[in-house]
Amino acid sequence: MRKTKIIATIGPSCDTKDKVHSLLRAGSDSIRLNFSHGSLEEKESIIRWVREYDEETDKHTAIIGDLQGSAVRIGDIEKIEIIEGREYKFTLSEEDGIHIGYEEVFREIEVGDTVYVDDGRLQFKVTRIENGSFWGKALLNGILGSRKTFLIRNKDIDLPPITDKDIEDLRFAIDNDVDYIALSFVRNDRDIEMLRNLISVYGGEQWILAKIERPQAVENIEDIIDSSDGVIVARGDLGLYYGLEEIPLIQSRIVKRSIFKGKITIIATQILDSMKENPQPSRAEVMDIYNAVGEGVDAIMLTGETAVGKYPVETVKWASKVLSSADKHITPQYNSDTETLYDKFAKGVLMLADNIEGKIIGYSKGGNTAMRISRYRPKKTVYIAVNKKEVARKINLRYGIRPLLVDGGYPDAFNEATRKLIDMGLVKKNDIAIYMGGLREKATDMVRVEIIT
The β-bridge partners of 136 are 88, 126
| Confidence (pLDDT) at 155 | 85
| Confidence (pLDDT) at 445 | 85
Query: How far is 285 from 271, CA to CA, in rounded Å?
Result: 6
Query: How far is 432 from 227, CA to CA, in rounded Å?
Result: 38
Q: Which CATH class is domain 5-69+162-326?
A: alpha beta
Domain boundaries, the chain: 5-69+162-326, 80-152, 341-451
List Cα–Cα distances, 265 to 74, 251, 322, 353, 410, in angstroms: 30, 10, 19, 24, 30
- For residue 108, the 8-state DSSP code is H
Query: How far is 114 from 112, CA to CA, in rounded Å?
Result: 7
Cα four-point dihedral sign 97, 101, 103, 108:
negative
For 80-152, the fitting CATH number among 2.40.33.10, 2.10.109.10, 3.40.718.10, 3.40.1160.10 is 2.40.33.10
| Confidence (pLDDT) at 168 | 97
Which residues of the chain have a pLDDT value below 50?
Answer: none
Residue pair 233/291 in contact by the 8 Å Cβ criterion: no
Query: How far is 264 from 224, CA to CA, in rounded Å?
Result: 12
| Confidence (pLDDT) at 408 | 82
pLDDT in tens, 12-25: 999 999 999 999 99
pLDDT in tens, 297-345: 999 999 999 999 999 999 999 999 999 999 999 888 776 767 889 999 9
Residue pair 404/417 in contact by the 8 Å Cβ criterion: yes
- pTM (2 d.p.): 0.91
Phi, psi of 334 (to 5 degrees): -135, 135
| Confidence (pLDDT) at 263 | 95
Displacement of CA 177 from its chain's centroid (Å) = 17
Query: How far is 178 from 180, CA to CA, in rounded Å?
Result: 6
| Confidence (pLDDT) at 428 | 94
| Confidence (pLDDT) at 149 | 87
Residue pair 396/370 in contact by the 8 Å Cβ criterion: no
For 341-451, the fitting CATH number among 3.40.1380.20, 3.40.50.720, 3.40.30.10, 3.90.1070.10 is 3.40.1380.20
